[in-house]
Chains A and B, each alone.
Chain A
Amino acid sequence: MADRLHVATRKGLFEIVRDGGGWEIVDAQFLGDPVSAVLVDPEGAVYAALDLGHFGAKLWRRDPASRGSAAAWREIAVPAFPPKPEGDGEGDPHPWSLGKIWVIEPGGVAGRLWAGTMPGGLFRSDDRGASWSFVEALWHMPERRRWVGVAGGEQPGINSVLVDPRDPDDIRIGVSTAGVWASADTGRSWRLINQGMYAEYMPPELRGEPIAQDIHRLARCGAHPEIVWCQHHNGVFRSENAGADWREVTAIRPSKFGFAVAAHPRDPLTAWFVPAIKDERRIPVDGRLVVARTRDGGASFEVLTRGLPQRHAYDLVWRHALAVDETGERLAFGSTSGGLWISEDAGESWAMPEARLPPIAAVRFAAA
């Protein structure tokens, strides 16, 4: 059971610990700085990606042994794009320079990390972030130049990295906007694999194209890695073969738009979403903040509201701002309005720690 939560916000990283029956903020780091991603690795080290408006993306780490000390955090290497070849980069729509780190995931091997970034570069570390290597094969796929930016012309970004718990060489990534890509050889070669999705926002002849699919977030069932859920720009989808074939989950309520998804760590039929009105408005339906949970593989959904604001709530929940712990009992999500809610009963009821936080980009549980 996870008793510790890390919350990455527009103005700092907050650490929240279960104390008695409630949750208390015990630490605030990087106050004033945007934190775009946070990870707790299997050894308990915490990684924070900063998205400094002026000075670029940075990466910091806190080792478990140094928790509580004054200089617990130290800056580590940040992923960097290689020099852009003269001439070779002609017509490349994407900059060869790190925009921001959007997601960091453990690689299933001691010391290994994957970082998904804007403008679409994937990076790997085998030394806990002391150094990073650029996954060139993915960047040099000709189709990469057809990746498009999110939110009106910004850079494309890798928002999800799934590492097969049975085989750390098997990597799947979700790209906004470019579908789902897979590598069976630790990133040396790549395939665009997603079939069965559709993109309402595209011209009719392109709606079914795998590369046109805006993957908002992928979440995998740890005990059944073939099961992957997707919150897509215009719907919820579920795959039973690790992201290759997808079936739309049309029972989602109260709406099918959203960003975040959490998959139950053991039960392949259970997942959670935080739906909203679709992209033109991006607010909860009727001003009621709800969590949608399925426990039957998407055939039906329960709309969970206990403890969540049901009047004039305009909270939107970003891609990485919903998390479930390793038991499937504890969940947390944070909103663009700085709301943070924690459940200890698989989403049945929610409580809000006493805090008014900045807009929340990501939440991650950690063991005590």
Chain B
Amino acid sequence: MVTIWFTSALRRFLPTPSAEVEAATVGEALARVFATQPALRGYVLDDQGVLRRHVAIYLNGEPVRDRWHLTDPVGPAADIYVFQALSGG
């Protein structure tokens, strides 16, 4: 089972509870969450389905390698964190 956590910064805009899903890749895991929460997709991915430039995804403590297609494989038990890159003023 893969557990996905979302930054609390998103909760100002829409509900983002953590979710447990079955998935083989990071992209699949996100797709499962977006299926139940379609509005969330555009906050994490751009129009081409690529991870937004200022959003980071960590898989088991490491940044994902494939930000374009999100093909990083996940094991049977994994933690995925989705959060914002630090920037602004």
Interface residues of A (CB under 8 A from B): 52-56, 58, 75, 78, 80-84, 96-98
The B interface is mostly helix, strand or loop, or mixed, namely: loop
Q: In the bound complex, how far is the Cα of B47 from the Cα of A52, in angstroms?
A: 15
Q: Are B39 and A75 in contact (CB under 8 A)?
A: yes
Pick from A56, A75, A82: contact of B46, CB below 8 A. Answer: A56
Q: Are B42 and A54 in contact (CB under 8 A)?
A: no
Residue among A55, A58, A80, A97 facing the most chain B CB atoms (10 A cut-off): A55
Which B residues are in CB contact (< 8 Å) with A82? 47
Show 8 residue pairs from A and B whose CB-CB distance is below 8 angstroms, ordered by the A residue: A54-B9, A55-B10, A55-B13, A55-B55, A56-B42, A56-B46, A56-B52, A97-B50
9 nearest A-B pairs in the assembled complex, by CB-CB distance: A54-B84, A97-B47, A55-B43, A97-B46, A81-B47, A54-B54, A80-B47, A53-B88, A97-B48
Q: In the bound complex, how far is the Cα of B52 from the Cα of A52, in angstroms?
A: 11
Which B residues are in CB contact (< 8 Å) with A56? 42-43, 46, 52
Pick from B13, B44, B48, B54: contact of A53, CB below 8 A. Answer: B54
Within 8 A of A (CB), among B65-86: 84-85
- Closest A residue, CB atoms, query B53: A54
Q: How large is the interface on B (under 10, 10 to 19, 20 to 34, 35 or more residues)?
A: 10 to 19
- Closest B residue, CB atoms, query A57: B42
B33 nearest CB across to chain A (Å) = 15
Decide yes or no: A55 and B47 within 8 Å by CB, A75-B13, A75-B39, A80-B42 being known contacts. no
Q: In the bound complex, how far is the Cα of B45 from the Cα of A81, in angstroms?
A: 13
Q: B36 an interface residue at 8 Å Cβ cutoff? A: no
B27 nearest CB across to chain A (Å) = 15
Q: In the bound complex, how far is the Cα of B49 from the Cα of A81, in angstroms?
A: 11
Q: In the bound complex, how far is the Cα of B84 from the Cα of A83, in angstroms?
A: 24
Decide yes or no: A54 and B13 within 8 Å by CB, A75-B39, A98-B47 being known contacts. no
- Closest A residue, CB atoms, query B56: A54
Which A residues are in CB contact (< 8 Å) with B47? 80-82, 96-98
Q: In the bound complex, how far is the Cα of B14 from the Cα of A55, in angstroms?
A: 12
Q: Are B48 and A54 in contact (CB under 8 A)?
A: no
Q: Are B52 and A55 in contact (CB under 8 A)?
A: yes
Which A residues are in CB contact (< 8 Å) with B84? 54-55
Within 8 A of A (CB), among B2-61: 9-10, 13-14, 39, 42-44, 46-48, 50, 52, 54-55
Q: Are A54 and B52 in contact (CB under 8 A)?
A: yes
Q: In the bound complex, how far is the Cα of B34 from the Cα of A265, in angstroms?
A: 46
Which B residues are in CB contact (< 8 Å) with A98? 46-47
Given contacts A78-B42, A82-B47, 9 further A-B contacts (CB under 8 A): A53-B88, A54-B52, A54-B84, A55-B55, A56-B42, A56-B46, A58-B42, A97-B46, A97-B48
Q: In the bound complex, how far is the Cα of B42 from the Cα of A97, in angstroms?
A: 11
- Closest A residue, CB atoms, query B85: A54
